[in-house]
Structures are given as structure tokens and as C-alpha cells.
Structure 1
Amino acid sequence: MQNNIHIMLIEDNAAYRKGIACALDNESDISLMNQFGTAEIALRTLQNASGNDMPDLILLDLNLPSMSGLDSITWIKQYSPNTKILILTQSNMEADLLCAIQRGADGYLLKSTSVEDLITGIHEVMNGGASIDPGLARVILNTLQKKLPTNTTTITLSQRESEVLALVADGLLKKQVAHQLGVSQRTVATHMEHIYKKLQVQNAPAAISKAYQLGLIDIQK
């Protein structure tokens, strides 16, 4: 993980922006480089930025005036493809979650999440994982159940890789997976790297989606 994570915050509620700014200010390895109340101004900034002016991660609200957070994801990926996007919203609607992930969001947290979990989520996303509100993680699997393919696959996951991915699919963070399996967080991260390589995906939501569709993980409701 890099020494300093540069954050852009896109949130129309000034009071909430201030609260997030205060929370991030207490973290030695995180800096809030800029904050905006609309997606349009944020996108204009990204379009004109380059190099070190690009944020490492954007905290993005969905319910924004004029252009919505969902609509802005595609533009963010176009202007700054290496920037991670962590949704921070009040919406627990299935359609918003699935649409955000489909368009390229790297994580999805509700505004009711604790400051500690938000900071952990930022680190998870920056380490190549995904941070999805535990109450919403099951939505992805329930949706995928309706789309299981009939073809076979030659891709295989080890028993431990399947265990790790199943726990991540249930909404557990790396440190929680490590604790439950009795291994280090570095070991969990290594398993996830192997899973990404085998499945040829970039992040945890994509890995969960592909593995479930291929029948490589079996998660009970």
C-alpha cells in the first residue's frame, strides 16, 4: 500500500462533507486533496488534471444534483482510469448497487457505516480488494443465481481460495477473513491475487461474479 492515499470527495451535503473531512484528517496515510458538491465540477477538475493531481480514490455519493453519481462513474473512468471509486451513499437499493458495480465502482458503502469501517474500506479498495456493505453483499449473489450458465469451465480454485472468496462474497473484510481462517492478512491478499489471475478479473466484485457464474463457489443463503 502506498504511503499517502489522495482522496477526492464528491458529496452535495456540506455538513456531511465536513464530517468526512474531519474523519480523514485524523488518518496519517490519507489526505483529502479536494471536495466537490456536484459531479460536473469534479469531472471538469479530473479532465484538466494530470499526474500527481489525479486522486487515488474518489468517495462518491449517488444522489447528487444534476448529474447523478451513477452517471458520473463512466466519465470518471474515462478521465482517470486508475482512480478507484468507493460509493458512499444512503441508497440501499439493489438496482443502485448492481448498476454501480457494473459501471466500475470498486466498493459500495452506506453512509450509516462507521468511520472505522470507512477507513478500512478505503484501505481495502486501495489494496485491490472491494468494500461492500455486508447487508448488500448478498444482493450480488442473489442476482447472479438467476444467470448461471450451463457450460463447463476448466478454471479451478483451490479449497482455500474458494473459502477465501466465499467469505469475501459474504461481506467480510480481509482482516475478518484472516481471523476466521487463522491466517495473516498478507496470506489472504495472496490468495485473492491468485484468484484474480485465474479468473482474469481486476477486483473482488468481478471475481465473485465470475466464480459464482462458473460454479466455483457455492454459497448458502
Structure 2
Amino acid sequence: MKKQIKIMLVEDHPEYREILEFVFGKEKGLKLISQFGNAELALRNLQDGGQGTEPDIILLDLNLPGMSGLDAMPWFAKYTPDAKIIILSQSDHEADVLRAIQQGAAGYLLKSTTMDEITHGIRTVMDGGATLEPSLARFILKTLQPRLPKTATEEGISHRELEVLSLIAKGLSQKEISSQLKISTYTVTDHLKHIYEKLNVPNAPSAIDKAHRLGLFLSKNN
């Protein structure tokens, strides 16, 4: 039996918190363990030892009273380094998206997304994937194309590793990639580990970001 995914919610709108609390309460395998209206309270809770347990996922709004979600991200990483941060915001500003990804966010979803997409995104991230709003993924693909693309070979990325990263960029989980490529989930995990090392990045969104900037996905299509 899989353990429950423990979620911390940092969101200043009580009505939206109530909706998410209701959804997580009915969703098997997800457990909302804490919720806060601002980043300072959430960080203080983690610094003081939390409520007896650390979250697996932090759903973080950006436009918070006091410290912004973006400014709080390094502190969350300090106090709970194993937790994965998914931005859940109304902001689709390019600067916000890029800064969140560069600071290690494992996902970026807009509040206009459906609850099913949010719960699917949480599970995808916990399975080692990345979750990005489709429109934001298209933005990254369009905006971050390099002027002088490098080939995947120049970065030491193998064809199979690039296949895995491309599927991660499409929002597939490690289990789904394993099934599509007919390889074990352990092999998928191993490929991702090598990709992160070769690109010198901490996680999947950062790898997708860097691969787009280096033109690796372009070279795959050439």
C-alpha cells in the first residue's frame, strides 16, 4: 500500500483553501496536513518542527501578503529540503514562471486549472515528473529556443535520455514513460539522474528549461 502524499497549502484566500481541503479530503492517497495564509507562518511552523510531520508537497501561491511565494522558496528549501514545491498561482507572467522554475519548483499550475489536473500534477511530481500548465509549457518551448542550438551529443545526452526528458516535458509520469518506452521505472529514474548530472540541474523542470535553452529538443527533431 502506497503511503499518503502529505501536502502543505500556502494560500491567502480562505475560500480557495476550503475547496482544496474538500478535494484532498475525498481523494485517496492525498492528505492535507497543514494550511497557512502567508509564507511567514508556514516557514515558522517548519522551523519549529511543524505539526509532527514534514510535507511531501508544498502548494505555494505567489501573490501572498508579506513575503511573496518566490521570495519564500529558498527558505522552504532550507527548512524542508525533501519537499517538492508546486506553484499554484493566478500569475502567468513570464518572469514569475521562469524564476520559479530556476529556483527549483517542481511544477507550475494556474488556479484556473481543474482540480483533477491539480491532483494529477501532485502525483506526477511525486512520481519524479514535472507538472506545467500546457500554455506555460508552450511559452517555455517558444520563448527559450536558443539562437545557436547545440546538439544533444555536445551535452553528452544520449538519444534515450532525450526521449525520457521529452516525455517528462509532456507531463508523463515515470511509470507512464516506463510503459511507453518498454523499460523499467528504475531505468527511467537512472536516465533522469544522469540527465540532471549532465545538465547540472536539480530537478525535472530545471532540466526541461535548460534543454529548451540549449536547443536539445530542436536537435532531436532535426
With the length of structure 1 as denominator, give the TM-score of the two structures: 0.84
Q: Size of the alignment, in residue pairs?
A: 216
3-state SS, counterpart of residue 121 of structure 2:
helix
For residues 15-30 of structure 1, what are the structure 2 equivalents within 5 Å? 15-30=15-30
3-state SS, counterpart of residue 145 of structure 2:
helix
Q: Equivalent residue for 1:197?
A: 194
- Post-superposition shift, 1:128? 1.5
3-state SS, counterpart of residue 88 of structure 2:
strand
Identity of aligned residues (%): 47
Q: Any conservation in 2 of the 1:11–1:37 contact (CA below 8 Å)?
A: yes
Q: Deviations over 1:168-208 (max 9, x none)?
A: 33x433389659x8556x75774354033144144221222
Q: Equivalent residue for 1:81?
A: 81
Structure 2 residue identity aligned to 1:15: E
Q: Deviations over 1:123-147 (max 9, x none)?
A: 1111121111111012223343247
3-state SS, counterpart of residue 17 of structure 1:
helix
Structure 2 residue identity aligned to 1:99: R
- Paired with 2:51 and 2:202, the residues of 1 have a C-alpha distance of 22
Structure 2 residue identity aligned to 1:157: S
3-state SS, counterpart of residue 135 of structure 1:
helix
- Paired with 1:154 and 1:57, the residues of 2 have a C-alpha distance of 31
Q: Any conservation in 2 of the 1:157–1:216 contact (CA below 8 Å)?
A: no
Q: Equivalent residue for 1:173?
A: 172
- Aligned CA-pair RMSD: 3.0
Q: Any conservation in 1 of the 2:24–2:31 contact (CA below 8 Å)?
A: yes
Q: Equivalent residue for 1:157?
A: 158
Q: Deviations over 1:112-132 (max 9, x none)?
A: 111111111001111121111
Structure 1 residue identity aligned to 2:206: A
Structure 1 residue identity aligned to 2:172: L
